[in-house]
A and B are shown apart, each in its own frame.
Chain A
């Protein structure tokens, strides 16, 4: 560890805002880049599942009717 205390780590001899903002923005963008496709996938799955169930429900109803 090249810093004595956490305060020193935070401040980085005056360069703290630059280093931490870079890392923060980067991790934020990475987080978004990861979460967007994951979210899209689960939403797609939900949509397809709902449609399948609606279809099979209709088939059951048709079966009853005929």
Chain B
């Protein structure tokens, strides 16, 4: 019983159709959530006591950071599934997850830098979180570059899966060591949300945005999956039927 569900998940036409149905309501919902969350954070939550209005960037920065880190695990798990069960769909999901994750990490860095200017006076600060994000960005870019370097794409996916898994094991170690490194060189602590408990009027829009960006991530994966599936299966009958409808 469980296996039919699992194997359906591995069947390209089924996933293509399922993703299409899911997107039809998930994409508008996601956009709605993002809009509501953004407007709530921009205009309907109080300014911060210490940082004034620039803290509103948190409603973008924290969600994309959280999702970009989670996205790496999604990519690694997809790679592992594709290696172990040789599922083509998992292969494609991993390949699609790399640029999405890189894009979100890039946004995390940019918004972090822009936030840093009014808060600390400089565009760039090598604090623990930003530094870890830079490493994460390079991990994503590495997977992408490795995929592009191989001509044989089936082998490329296998190599990328191995690389992603090695990265997964390393990420906690990297985060811990960067944290420790930062505490070495910056005895005074500048914490974003540490110390003061965050007020509910600020917490709720933040939670909404986190949920919204997670939903956006799912949409992006599904969209990329559909496009990549159609391309890689373009000579099969189900694709031709799908297209001619």
Q: Please report A residues at the B interface, Cβ cutoff 8 Å.
A: 1-3, 9, 12-16, 18-19, 21-23, 25-26, 29-30, 32-34, 37-38, 40-41, 44-45, 47-49, 52
With A and B bound together, what is the CA distance between A18 and B56 in angstroms?
10
7 closest residue pairs by CB, A with B: A12-B53, A15-B54, A37-B223, A40-B227, A37-B227, A15-B53, A41-B227
B103 lies within 8 A of chain A by Cβ: yes
Give 16 new A-B contacts, CB below 8 A, not counting A25-B107, A44-B234: A2-B44, A9-B42, A13-B47, A15-B54, A15-B118, A18-B118, A22-B111, A30-B34, A37-B227, A41-B223, A41-B227, A44-B227, A44-B231, A48-B240, A48-B243, A52-B244
* Contact indicator A33/B234 (Cβ below 8 Å): no
How many chain B residues touch the partner (CB < 8 A)?
41
* Contact indicator B230/A25 (Cβ below 8 Å): no
* Contact indicator B38/A29 (Cβ below 8 Å): no
* Contact indicator B231/A23 (Cβ below 8 Å): no
B114 lies within 8 A of chain A by Cβ: yes
Given contacts A15-B53, A40-B227, A44-B230, contact A22 B114 (CB under 8 A): yes
**Residues from chain A with Cβ under 8 Å of B219 in the complex:** 34
Distance in Å: Cβ of A52 to nearest Cβ of chain B = 6
* Contact indicator B115/A22 (Cβ below 8 Å): yes
* Contact indicator B115/A13 (Cβ below 8 Å): no
For B226-245 the 0/1 string (1 means CB < 8 A from A) is 11001100100001100110
Main secondary structure of the interface of A (DSSP, over half): helix
B182 lies within 8 A of chain A by Cβ: no
**Residues from chain B with Cβ under 8 Å of A32 in the complex:** 103
- Identify 20 residue pairs between A and B in the complex whose beta-carbon atoms are under 8 Å apart, listed by A's number: A2-B45, A2-B46, A9-B42, A12-B54, A14-B53, A15-B52, A18-B114, A18-B117, A18-B118, A22-B57, A22-B111, A25-B111, A26-B111, A33-B100, A33-B103, A33-B220, A34-B27, A37-B226, A48-B234, A49-B244
* Contact indicator B56/A12 (Cβ below 8 Å): yes
* Contact indicator A30/B110 (Cβ below 8 Å): no
With A and B bound together, what is the CA distance between A10 and B38 in angstroms?
14
B10 lies within 8 A of chain A by Cβ: no
A50 to B, closest residue via Cβ: B243
For B14-42 the 0/1 string (1 means CB < 8 A from A) is 00000000000001000000100010001
